[in-house]
Amino acid sequence: MEADEAHIRSIPWCAALISGPSIVILPTESRAPKESTEDALFAQTLKTPDTISGCLTFYDRANNSSAYINKINTLISLGSAVNGYPHVAHGGLVATLVDEIMGLLLSVNKHPKVAFPDIGRTVTAYLHITYLKPVVTPATILVSARFKEVAGRKLFLEASVEDRWGVALAKAEALWIRVDKERERL
């Protein structure tokens, strides 16, 4: 994960985003290999110089007035091996990135020091993504996810994908469901 941070900090516009005194850098847990093979897609398959060469998650404490982390951001460096068209990332990968960052938002709020109602185990019920512009590669993009509403077991989230100039490339909304442990089947 240190290599990811060093890579992202070497990109001037990214370094500027993560340099403020209220910025908190979080471990991007899905980039760490696990014995159970959980997160293998991001920790192995997409962790190469030609796919995702760098990934760093952070949030701005100053813009987060709630007791829990309402919004996170992840800088992701994409290579040409994620393309669907020449110099354009595959749309399925863009949707996967959005889903992953939403999952990271839920994951960081499971930490005991965060005052969020018990999230427990969650799954994506639906993900609606709107592609606005091509995600050009190679490039580093910013994927942000935030809570829109929490209603019982339902967690409504929103996300955006932007380029280095803040141009919106995609936006998404999703419903995640807290899984009832008694009914859970994997």
- Domain 2-178, CATH among 3.40.50.300, 3.10.129.10, 1.20.1250.20, 3.30.420.40: 3.10.129.10
pLDDT category of residue 170 using cuts at 50, 70 and 90? very high
Which two tokens mark 160?
A: 């955006």
Tokens 């959005």: give the residue. Answer: 98
> Would you state the pLDDT for residue 186?
42
The candidate with the shortest Cα–Cα distance to 122, out of 91, 100, 96, is 100
pLDDT category of residue 121 using cuts at 50, 70 and 90? confident
pLDDT category of residue 148 using cuts at 50, 70 and 90? very high
Instruction: Please state the domain extents for the chain.
Output: 2-178
The bridge status of strand 52-60 relative to strand 23-26 is: antiparallel
Portion of the chain with pLDDT greater than 70, in percent: 90
Phi, psi of 112 (to 5 degrees): -60, -25
